[in-house]
Structure 1
Amino acid sequence: MAEDSTTHPASETHAGSLEPLELLYEQAGQPLFGLPATLATAYGGDLGFSPPCVYANFVASIDGVVALGPEYPSSGSAISGREPADRFVMGLLRACADAVLIGAGTLRATPRHLWTPGHVCPQAGPDFAELRRSLGRATQPQLVVVTASGDLPTEHPALQSGALVATTADGARRLEGRLPSTCSILAAVEGSTLRIADVLTALHAEGHTAVLTEGGPQLIGHLLGEDLLDELFLTMSPVLAGRADTPRPGVVSGLELLPSRLAWADLISARRRNSCLFLRYRLRIPRRGPVVAQ
């Protein structure tokens, strides 16, 4: 999930100022983009995706918590401890994407955030821009906000900067006249339900075949329920979050898998910086019927 941040001037304006990640394991035969040298050094190797691809990025505590609850906005920053390497990986994954997909809950939980590569790791901004140019990507990834109901904080700076809002016909009617002029609406279906598959089909039609989701556990549940998630990047932060009376979900919410449904994943990459682990999994999920977002 996204971390909120306040951009500060960087002492250096390239990824070379970052301490490199240590490569622990990499499965052979992965697609490679040919990262700019400074990014490859900071990441501890190359990175790439075979389109179409939907990949997610989360930071989790040792005990599996990815969100601290609705009363704790920007909880990703608390879980990661604002670890610079985690923020770099977040920016790098955005720099590789055609589009960044989030849910309305994530938008509300990070009130100052912009889902751009440089926002979260400004010192690597020029290198992220170079990578996007080399891949033929737009200057910034397309932000896509999914909301079945149309209930959005329309004053959010990310919407003011421009976004594609994927919603239902009911949601579109609710948003009519309320969104900034920089936004556009994708009304995927009639009624009050929304299939994420329809959203991705529309994105693919616009050439957005590499889609990063930084949505919350509910959105991941919908993606898994429709067999749409290809890869998961998981930063394991060396902190214990604990659980008591506040809902503190793991990566998946709103969808039960075990024991009736097996959702195995293969570890294809592992990196480390100090006590943080940066893991990359490829999902292997049996094809099932779709679920819908409410």
Structure 2
Amino acid sequence: MAGPDTAPTAPVPHAEPLVRLYEEPGLRCWRLPPALSALYGGDLGFPEPCLYANFVASLDGVVALGPEYPSSGSTISGREPADRFVMGLLRACADAVLIGAGTLRASPRHRWTPEHVYPAAAADFALLREQRRRAAEPELVVVTASGNLPAQHPALQAGALIATTTQGASRLTGHLLPACTILPLGDGPTLRIPQVLDTLRARGHTTILSEAGPRLVGQLVGADILNELFLTLSPVLAGRANTTRHGLIAGLELLPKQQESADLISARRRASYLFLRNRLPRRRPSAGDSEH
């Protein structure tokens, strides 16, 4: 996740335009409003359906500083305006934003909307969504097997879709505002992530952004359902000592037994920050592949 913060404590500076270093020929693009295209260094689009994730990482591969540092993505990114703009743009392109309960709890005042992270482009984000005939804001989807959620969180107060188990639904019933929809998806102690994705697609969400943490992203990769990865490489060193500091994926071991490679399809730069976009090859066909 590209570092949602607890709340903007000062006006977000305007981003400088990204410099396009590489773009795969023939990459699908939507025509962005001119102001967004100028800042991004070109247009942006996705094949449909598409599930894409967004992270910011230090030079030494750290995306989370540990449980004692909530919202550590903002520290890793240095609140770089260009990173915040890209985060907002990726949200503006999405039908739904997917997070886990841990991400929600770690950002107690955050709203997963485009304008929350980059207010300067709020009107242009809204224009993009209007042009694509989408709702005013992407739907927030919170994944929680246990149903342990802070009911007073402003993102939940504004409304969200809660994907949970039958037991989690029982725990949440009567504790959330009517703006939230509780979606029980099974009687067991865990959730099947492919079932969550299938349910979102059935609700008409064809373009889904994951801002979940490394463990949930590990489940997406393990289930072979993550299509693209946006990675902001921040010019900082995080280091590791006597604390757990995850990389992009946690809870899933790949190398040396299993090699997963991604294709670089776009690279942009702003000062010493790199903005990379990778496509993850599919290991096996999915039910939706016949629709392409």
* Same fold? TM cut 0.5: yes
Deviation, structure 1 residue 63:
0.3
Q: Deviations over 1:30-79 (max 9, x none)?
A: 11110011100000011000110000000000000000111111101100
Q: Which residue of 2 aligns with 1:88?
A: 85
Counterpart Cα distance in 2 of 1:242 and 1:182:
41
Asked if 1:149 is matched to 2:151, the reply is: no
Deviation, structure 1 residue 287:
3.0
Counterpart Cα distance in 2 of 1:112 and 1:219:
21
Deviation, structure 1 residue 10:
7.0
TM-score by length of 2: 0.94
Asked if 1:118 is matched to 2:115, the reply is: yes
Q: Which residue of 1 aligns with 2:260?
A: 263
Query: Secondary structure at 1:192's aligned position in 2?
Result: coil
Q: Which residue of 2 aligns with 1:132?
A: 129
Q: Which residue of 1 aligns with 2:41?
A: 44
The correspondence for 1:184, drawn from 158, 170, 181, is 181
CA contact (8 A) 2:231 2:275 kept: yes
Asked if 1:228 is matched to 2:228, the reply is: no
Deviation, structure 1 residue 19:
1.3
Q: Which amino acid letter does the alignment assign opposite residue 108 of structure 1? A: R
Shift in CA distance, 288/218, structure 1 to aligned 2, threshold 3 Å = farther
Query: Secondary structure at 2:85's aligned position in 1?
Result: helix
Deviation, structure 1 residue 154:
1.3
Counterpart Cα distance in 2 of 1:187 and 1:227:
23
CA contact (8 A) 2:141 2:160 kept: yes
Q: Structure 2: which 5+ runs fail to align?
A: 287-292
CA contact (8 A) 2:101 2:142 kept: yes
Counterpart Cα distance in 1 of 2:210 and 2:150:
19
Q: Which amino acid letter does the alignment assign opposite residue 259 of structure 2? A: L
Q: Deviations over 1:221-276 (max 9, x none)?
A: 11011101000000000000001111100000000011222211000000000000
Deviation, structure 1 residue 8:
5.2
CA contact (8 A) 1:33 1:48 kept: yes
Q: Which residue of 2 aligns with 1:20?
A: 17
Counterpart Cα distance in 2 of 1:9 and 1:69:
27
Counterpart Cα distance in 2 of 1:271 and 1:201:
32
What are the residue-to-residue correspondences of 1:241-260 with 2, within 5 Å?
241-260=238-257
CA contact (8 A) 2:94 2:209 kept: yes
CA contact (8 A) 1:263 1:285 kept: no
Q: Which residue of 2 aligns with 1:173?
A: 170
CA RMSD of aligned residues (A): 1.5
CA contact (8 A) 1:262 1:285 kept: no
Identity %: 65
Q: Which residue of 1 aligns with 2:94?
A: 97
Report how many aligned residue pairs link the two structures. Answer: 284
The correspondence for 1:274, drawn from 235, 258, 271, is 271
Query: Secondary structure at 1:251's aligned position in 2?
Result: coil
The correspondence for 2:204, drawn from 191, 202, 207, is 207
Q: Which amino acid letter does the alignment assign opposite residue 223 of structure 1? A: L
CA contact (8 A) 1:102 1:213 kept: yes
Deviation, structure 1 residue 192:
1.2
TM-score by length of 1: 0.94
